[in-house]
Amino acid sequence: MQPKDTTHDESFKGFTNDACPFYPCHRGVKRAFNCLFCYCPLIAYECPGPYRLYTDKNGLTRKDCSDCRLPHDGHSASWAFIQKWLERPQIWSGHPQREPYAKTRRREP
Ligand code: SF4
């Protein structure tokens, strides 16, 4: 197996499953839809995504990520986004989206 740092094949960064019955699950994706992060690795961490809050049937506060395109918009771009935010992950506070992250979100493509 070739280490990812020495290959020019970037197919590991994403794929599109347009046979999925939920595809496209997030509206507004402009580049190749990346299904690799269908279950977002940032769900338990602070992130810049435009999530809302909801309470599940067990009374737990959770993120509703319906409006977020960041892990899906472009195979390489979404890969880079996830790698960047996992470099120094911070456990999600359980609070609504905060202004500094909202500003970051506006700079995202
Ligand atoms: S808001 Fe976006 S980046 Fe944040 S956890 Fe949800 S899908 Fe991931």
Domain count, the chain: 1
Give nearest CA residue, ligand 1 atom 5.
43
Task: Give per-residue pLDDT as tens, 72-89.
Answer: 999 999 999 999 999 999
Q: Is residue 90 part of a domain?
A: yes
Is the CB of 70 inside a 6 Å radius of any atom of ligand 1? yes
Q: Is residue 79 part of a domain?
A: yes
pTM: predicted TM-score of the whole model, two decimal places? 0.84
52-61 long-range contacts, CB within 8 A, separation 24+? 52/96, 53/96, 61/94
Is the CB of 35 inside a 6 Å radius of any atom of ligand 1? no
Torsion angle of the four alpha carbons 98, 100, 102, 107, in this order, in degrees rounded to the nearest 10: -170
Which atom number of ligand 1 is nearest to the Cα of residue 50?
Answer: 1
* Helix or strand run (H / E) with residue 63: strand 61-64
Q: Is residue 59 part of a domain?
A: yes
Q: Is residue 18 part of a domain?
A: no
Task: Give per-residue pLDDT as tens, 53-62.
Answer: 999 999 999 9
Is the CB of 82 inside a 6 Å radius of any atom of ligand 1? no
Which of 27, 30, 22, 8 is CA-nearest to residue 78?
30
The Cα 100–Cα 93 span in angstroms is 14
In which domain, by residue range, is 56 found? 38-109
**Do 47 and 101 form a contact (C-beta atoms < 8 A)?**
yes
